[in-house]
Chain A
Amino acid sequence: MPGKMAMTEVRKTVQRIRLEPAQQLELENIQRRHFLRAGLTVGAMSMLTGCNLQDGDQVDKALWAMSRWNDRVQAWLFSGHKLAPTFTRAQITTPFPFNAYYGQDDIPEVDLASYSLAVSGRVRDKAPWTLESLRKLPQRSDITRLICVEGWSAIGQWGGVPLKTFLEHIGADTTAKFVGFKCADRYYSSLDMPTALHPQTLLALDYADVALPPKYGYPLRVRVPTKLGFKNPKHVVEIFVSNDNPGGYWEDQGYNWFSGI
């Protein structure tokens, strides 16, 4: 290889050079300056504290790249058969905490009479669904722990249609990569297909055996016990199947997209 040849020649040339004492001193000074500069970059560590995934600088790019790598590792760690631990009614956290990107006063108003769930993307049947038709599908209820990205957790009981059952009914292409959700509060999120098909992933209609109240995401929320809380969108109005990653409200700002637990 020509490049390698050139390198060898350079190395030989370097070995032959004899430096004058003045040159030697100059070289040492340059090396010392380089060492100082390296020291300064360590000092510049403190300036990195501003790197937050939102400035678009080199450090942010590296952090985003690592987050995509972590998506892949987590997808590999995920088992579609491993169930989230379930709890007894006595262990339910009461009251279950309200949590959203807005305060409790800004919970969206949804007109239940005119509500319908839109379906789009890689599916056979794109007809919208009413709440009654959703209730006619097989139901499932689990008492599971919701873990927030902030670290706190709470145990609650959600009931509804397994997302897998729903996807089968609409003839979804389950070889597609993503299932996306759009919400009445302009929130949005998405799941990888293996998680969407997990038996405990629900289109939840009930909390503690009664229809979802507004603060828990009425009339329909996605409950995914194998994901962090922010990947459980509330007030869902549209579901779509896609091969392009739909991202999410928090995910697009820097929370890890996969966020499996």
Chain B
Amino acid sequence: MRQKKLHPLPIRLTHWLNAVCMVCMFMSGWAIYNASPLFSFRFPVSVTVGGWLGGALAWHFAFMWLLLINGAIYVLYGAVSRHFKRALLPIGLVALKRDLTDALRLRLVHEKGVYNAVQRLMYWMVLAAGALVVISGVAIWKPIQLQELVALLGGYDSARYVHFGAMAMIAAFVVIHLALVILVPKTLLPMITGGVRSLDAGENGHD
């Protein structure tokens, strides 16, 4: 009998490539932020990459390509294979309220192969933040050639804040994401090996 994978290979590959990209983009981005901070704090040098502004920029503008290509493959695969629809939809208000209450009371049970409503919402939110971080990043990279995009974000200065805000949203997601993996460690291995979808997951399980 052909066993179905819990996480299909394209999702696992793009997930881990994305993890590497994001580490590089976060660390180099924080170094770039430090050159001209938007708020009254700087990131510690130990969590930055590149050594100096020129190095950090080189990292940022090298890994942006890998991030972009990898992200495009993920979104294309998610749409064409109906992965998004099966794994991340629907999000009902009732289910969301129930799962959110359970989650806050730390009573939410992990169901193998099924994302609960809170998880689904969080995945959509981080996808939106990902799109925003790319759009705002491209805008502050090319504020004249793409001046219409900058205007849409409220001008150059405001686009820098949008880029920072989108980064902060993704960082918050990563913190929760990692905390959940620590709370339910058995979810980690299937993200590497693919895992096996349990038979009782039935039609609701994603693949």
Contacts and interface: CB of A to CB of B under 8 A. Distances in A.
Interface of A: 45, 48-54, 62-64, 66-67, 69-70, 74, 77-79, 82, 84-85, 145, 147-153, 225-226, 250, 253-256, 260-261
A51 B65 contact: no
Contact of B54 (A62, A250, A260): A250
Interface string B58-79: 1101100100000000000000
B144 A49 contact: no
The 6 closest A-B pairs by CB, nearest first: A52-B51, A52-B55, A254-B54, A151-B36, A66-B62, A150-B35
A49 B52 CA distance: 10
Contacts of B160: 151
Given A67-B58, A150-B36, A151-B36, A261 B65 contact: no
B32 interface: yes
Contacts, number: 94
Given A51-B50, A82-B144, A151-B36, A254 B55 contact: yes
Nearest to A77: B145
A255 B144 contact: no
B58 A256 contact: yes
Nearest to B33: A151
- Residue of A49, A51, A69, A250 ringed by the most chain B CB atoms within 10 A: A49
A90 B137 CA distance: 28
Contact of A45 (B23, B50, B52): B23
A16 to B, nearest CB: 28
Contact of A147 (B54, B59, B61, B143): B143
B141 to A, nearest CB: 8
Main secondary structure of the interface of B (DSSP, over half): helix
A69 B69 CA distance: 15
Contact of A148 (B36, B57, B59, B61): B36
B21 interface: no
Interface residues of B, number: 30
Contacts of B147: 82, 84-85
B169 interface: no
B57 A82 contact: no
Given A66-B61, A66-B65, A74-B142, 10 more contacts: A52-B51, A53-B55, A77-B145, A84-B144, A150-B35, A150-B36, A151-B36, A226-B145, A255-B53, A260-B145
B134 to A, nearest CB: 15
A150 B50 contact: no
A121 to B, nearest CB: 27
B51 A50 contact: yes
Interface in B56-110: 57-59, 61-62, 65
Contact of A63 (B27, B59, B141, B143): B59
A63 B58 contact: yes
A53 B62 CA distance: 12
A45 B59 CA distance: 13
Contacts of B116: none
Interface string B13-46: 0000000000100010000110110000000001
A48 B54 contact: no
Given A66-B65, A149-B57, A254-B55, A225 B144 contact: yes
A26 B32 CA distance: 48
A149 B147 CA distance: 18
A70 B61 contact: yes
Given A85-B144, A256-B61, A150 B54 contact: no
A151 B37 CA distance: 8
Contacts of B48: 49
Given A51-B55, A153-B156, A67 B61 contact: yes
